[in-house]
């Protein structure tokens, strides 16, 4: 199974941030997105996840195959860890939350409310949701922010498990995760220079 | 979707949730109006249906910006948008949760608060029936307003401006039904018209809300 994107241009709001990006990824492989801050990594991932339609180009897979993990954790302070996992399991139709708990060592935290967790613990809970989605392609935006060394290794282990089970992953990160046979893609050269024409009346109406 | 409804209700009831905000506002308004109007039971009885309806409407408006704003800020909205739930379904569930935490308590509280405002006893059933039929429309329309302003910081004022004109028909028919009830007239016609508005908005507004959300997520 291959995941391909060709000549992709993606916009944030009404500004085209990157254009001409293409990649091919097969099952069991990870693609590491590199590029300085503001180079369009988040925009590309949001585009792949179907949150923003592509301005140009083609994507061979549907957004329904993509599990997206953003900068923001998407957690509710008032809910407990177990409640959070069960909620997302129901949303994604997963029957069992144990793989998520085991993969990210959440067992001791299950009954804690999210507002009592540290930033790294929240991050682990947020990432464990990926396992619950049951989707093949993970699109991860800076997944290791606020994780300690041990948790990073844990996370790399979870990604490796996902890859060996036939999944794939696209990861925007600045650190080395130590994933086997991961491809690198530097998106700096694809930065869009010229402003694409958009309808000026529509822009004003949406401001 | 049931999971989403349960989560929204749980968040509303737990500390920091918006539950009770609208209800408290409604309560305070209905307690203060008699003091403001002064000792004139006849005047009070005359304005009671209008006060109760306007109070319910403003109470509903108070909690609208919470519907999507909190989820948008912590990233949950992005995740819901990429989840298998259709955004139209999520918007409907959010509106339902808003009604259960705002519209329903207001409807239940209206009968005892009507006593405070010297609302004629024969008007009470019409008032309660009107609120029960009308407040779902307020929640559904309000969800649309919240979806339109989700990307904006402090969109509360804008929501009010966008949503209030859409609330007018419900307010007019609701207050008219309660007034007719107070005068002992038949109030079914305004109630039917209002029920029609509610049914129409419940059917159509979730699509508009989902479209607005998609636009704002870009």
pLDDT single digits (tens) A34-71: 888 888 888 899 999 988 888 888 898 888 889 998 88
Instruction: Give the gap in angstroms from C-alpha B22 to the nearest C-alpha of chain A.
Output: 20
B75 contacts chain A (CB < 8 A): yes
Total number of domains constituting chain B: 1
The pLDDT of residue B118 is above 80: yes
Would an 8 Å CB–CB cutoff place A50 in contact with chain B? Answer: yes
Q: 3-class SS at A2?
A: strand
* pLDDT one-digit tens code per residue, B83-104: 888 999 999 999 999 999 999 9
pLDDT in tens, B28-77: 999 999 899 888 888 888 888 899 999 999 999 988 888 888 888 888 99
List the single residue in B15, B17, B83 with the smallest CB-CB distance to A92: B83
Q: Does A70 touch chain B (CB under 8 A)?
A: yes
pLDDT at residue B166 is higher than 90? yes
Q: For chain A, what is the mean pLDDT?
A: 85
Percent of chain B with pLDDT over 90: 50
| Rounded mean pLDDT, B5-21 | 79
Confidence of residue B16 (pLDDT cuts 50, 70, 90): low
A77 touches B at CB < 8 Å: yes
Please state the rounded mean pLDDT for residues A121-132.
90
Q: How far apart, in whole angstroms, are the C-alpha atoms of residue A47 and residue A158?
A: 24
Whole-number pLDDT of residue B168:
93
| Residue B192 belongs to some domain of the structure | yes
Asked if A62 reaches chain B (Cβ–Cβ under 8 Å), the answer is no
Asked if residue B36 is part of any domain, the answer here is no
For B17, which residue in chain A has the nearest alpha carbon? A78
Task: Write out pLDDT tens, residues B127-148.
Answer: 999 999 999 999 999 999 999 9
Instruction: List the end-to-end C-alpha distance of chain B, in Å, as a whole number.
Output: 24
Q: Is B7 on the interface with A (CB under 8 A)?
A: yes
Whether the per-residue pLDDT at A131 is higher than 60: the answer is yes
A152-198 pLDDT, tens digit each: 888 888 899 889 988 899 999 888 887 777 788 888 888 876 555 55
A207 pLDDT above the threshold of 50: no
Helix axes B41-62, B104-116, angle to 10 degrees: 160
Beta-carbon separation of B11 and A63 below 8 A: no
Residues whose CB falls within 8 Å of the CB of residue B119, separated by 6 or more in sequence, listed in order:
B45, B48, B49, B52, B127, B178, B182
Q: How many CB pairs under 8 A join A and B?
A: 76
| A98 pLDDT tier (thresholds 50, 70, 90) | confident
Range(s) of the domain holding residue B175: 2-7+21-31+41-217
Of A63, A74, A78, which is closest to B79 when you measure between CB atoms? A74
Which domains can be identified in chain A, with CATH numbers?
Answer: 2-206 (3.40.50.300)
- Within 10 Å of residue A113's Cβ, how many Cβ atoms? 17
Rounded to two decimals, the pTM is: 0.87
Give the per-residue pLDDT at B199.
Answer: 96
Q: Phi and psi (nearest 5°) for A201?
A: -70, -40
Gap between the Cα atoms of B63 and B102, Å rounded: 8
């Amino acid at each position: 199974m291959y995941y391909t994107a060709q000549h992709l241009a993606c916009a944030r709001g009404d500004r085209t941030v990157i254009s001409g990006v293409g990649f091919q990824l097969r099952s069991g492989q990870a693609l590491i997105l590199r590029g300085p801050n503001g180079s369009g990594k988040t925009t590309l991932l949001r585009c792949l996840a179907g949150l923003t339609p592509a301005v140009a180009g083609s994507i061979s897979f549907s957004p329904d195959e993509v599990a997206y993990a953003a900068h923001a954790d998407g957690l509710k302070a008032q809910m407990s860890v177990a409640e959070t996992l069960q909620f997302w399991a129901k949303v994604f139709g997963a029957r069992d939350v144990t793989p998520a708990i085991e993969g990210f060592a959440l067992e001791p935290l299950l009954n804690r409310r999210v507002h009592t967790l540290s930033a790294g613990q929240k991050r682990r809970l947020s990432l464990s949701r990926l396992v619950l989605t049951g989707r093949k392609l993970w699109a991860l935006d800076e997944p290791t922010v606020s994780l300690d060394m041990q948790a990073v290794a844990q996370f790399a282990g979870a990604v490796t498990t996902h890859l060996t089970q036939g999944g794939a992953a696209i990861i925007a990160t600045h650190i080395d995760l130590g994933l086997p046979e991961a491809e690198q893609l530097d998106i700096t050269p694809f930065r869009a220079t010229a402003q694409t024409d958009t309808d000026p009346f529509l822009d004003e109406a949406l401001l | 979707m049931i999971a989403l409804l349960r989560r929204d209700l749980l968040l509303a009831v737990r500390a920091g949730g918006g539950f009770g905000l609208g209800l408290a506002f409604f309560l305070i308004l209905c307690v203060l109006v008699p003091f403001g109007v002064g000792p004139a039971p006849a005047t009070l009885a005359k304005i009671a249906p209008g006060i109760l309806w306007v109070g319910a409407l403003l109470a509903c408006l108070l909690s609208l910006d919470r519907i999507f704003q909190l989820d948008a800020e912590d990233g949950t909205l992005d995740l819901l948008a990429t989840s298998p739930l259709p955004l139209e379904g999520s918007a409907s569930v959010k509106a339902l949760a808003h009604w259960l935490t705002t519209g329903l308590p207001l409807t239940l509280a209206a009968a005892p608060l009507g006593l405070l405002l010297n609302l004629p006893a024969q008007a009470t059933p019409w008032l309660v029936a009107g609120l029960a039929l009308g407040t779902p429309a307020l929640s559904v329309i309000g969800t649309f307003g919240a979806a339109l302003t989700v990307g904006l910081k402090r969109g509360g004022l804008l929501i009010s401006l966008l949503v209030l004109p859409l609330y007018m028909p419900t307010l007019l028919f609701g207050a008219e039904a309660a007034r007719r009830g107070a005068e002992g007239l038949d109030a079914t016609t305004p109630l039917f018209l209002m029920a029609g508005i509610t049914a129409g908005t419940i059917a159509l507004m979730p699509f508009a809300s989902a479209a607005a959300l998609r636009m704002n997520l870009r």
